[in-house]
Amino acid sequence: MADCRNQTAITEFFLLGFGDLPDLQILLFLMFLVIYMATVVGNTLIVVLVVADQHLHSPMYFFLGNLSCVETCYTSAIVPRMLASLLTGDKTISVSGCITQLYFFGSLAATECYLLAAMSYDRYLAICKPLHYSTLMNIRFSFQLAAGSWLNGFLAITILVLFLSQLIFCGPNEIDHFYCDAIPLIELSCGDTHQVILMDFILACVFTLPPFLLTLTSYMCIIATILRIPSTTGRQKAFSTCSSHLIVVTIFYGTLMIVYLLPKRDTLRDLNKVLSLCYTVLPPLVNPLIYSLRNREVKEALRKAVSKCGFRKNVQRLGDNLALKTSGCLDDFSNHPPLKLS
């Protein structure tokens, strides 16, 4: 690391993003805008359905509502800043703004790890211990798991950000990425970063490895239990209760591992950016689709909500028509001459 005692500390970074592609700026802006809007609408719809429909008031859908809320905030920590950069061409971000983005993005990502672990444990109890499920996974315990997920996620990154805030940055100030990540940020520091790197490794092991291992263990037990079911119909029914969550877990952890385990070479930087998009943008977009298309109860709740809205519109339209006809009849009656009795 360079000695920064005789250098001026920088106050902003340049997020290089996808490079200088003037011909593709508008196309990329429109593409990410559509993806972001679809992500927010889809996840918000899931939250509304879970809150409004009585049939979805169960621990599994309580966790699903929390997951959709996390992913709405998660993608909002990155995509709006990227959209503004694509639209205006301004790639600068202040040091404090970069650390703030890292804080919220990292906290929500860690929270998602814990929520996925809680959901996998919920499916483990439902399939492997069905007779004790209602006793073990009650409303109070599910609330504690969700609250613990949020608390641990934000606690982990708070500790890391406290160490990052002590670093001094004196150049260069270019981050070859479209968002502020921990390692590229640490590499730009001109001071001693050994303690920060060690703390980042420890926090990753303490706060993200346990939920991953719990998720992996839960699904190993689930698969073993399903394989012991004698009938094909029974195996299919049991697997259908956790297939949506298994797909979500695979996408999230698969892209996460590829991004952070891929060798950090110059020839792989562009590939790393593409894979980072799959990690930051793809899961929040496809999760509502996975849960709505593969989950019968969510589809039923969505159908009821749509039919209820349609019914209300029809009733309102019928009321307007009746009011119009009644008004017309009264007008005709008032304009009609009175009858003369002989």
Please identify, in words, the CATH class of the domain defined by 12-294.
mainly alpha
Give the residues across from 15 on adjacent strands: 175
Contact between 291 and 46 under an 8 Å Cβ cutoff? The reply is yes
CA distances from 135 to 55, 129, 312, 335 (A): 19, 10, 39, 73
Question: For residue 170, what is the DSSP state?
Answer: -
Q: Could you tell me the end-to-end alpha-carbon distance of the chain, in angstroms, rounded to an integer?
A: 114
- All structural domains of the chain with their residue ranges: 12-294
In tens, the pLDDT along 172-206 reads: 888 888 888 888 888 888 877 888 888 888 888 88
DSSP string, 156-177: HHHHHHHHHTT----S--EESS
What pLDDT does 5 receive?
Answer: 53
Q: Whole-model pTM above 0.95?
A: no
In a 3-state reduction of DSSP, which class is residue 205? helix
> Which residue, among 152, 157, 153, has the nearest Cα to 100 in the 3D structure?
157
CA 94 to chain centre: 25
Distance CA 21, CA 157 (A): 33
In tens, the pLDDT along 38-93 reads: 999 999 999 998 888 888 888 988 998 999 999 999 899 999 998 998 888 888 89
In tens, the pLDDT along 298-337 reads: 778 778 877 877 655 554 554 455 445 444 544 443 454 5
What angle do the packed helices 139-164 and 194-203 form, to 10 degrees? 170
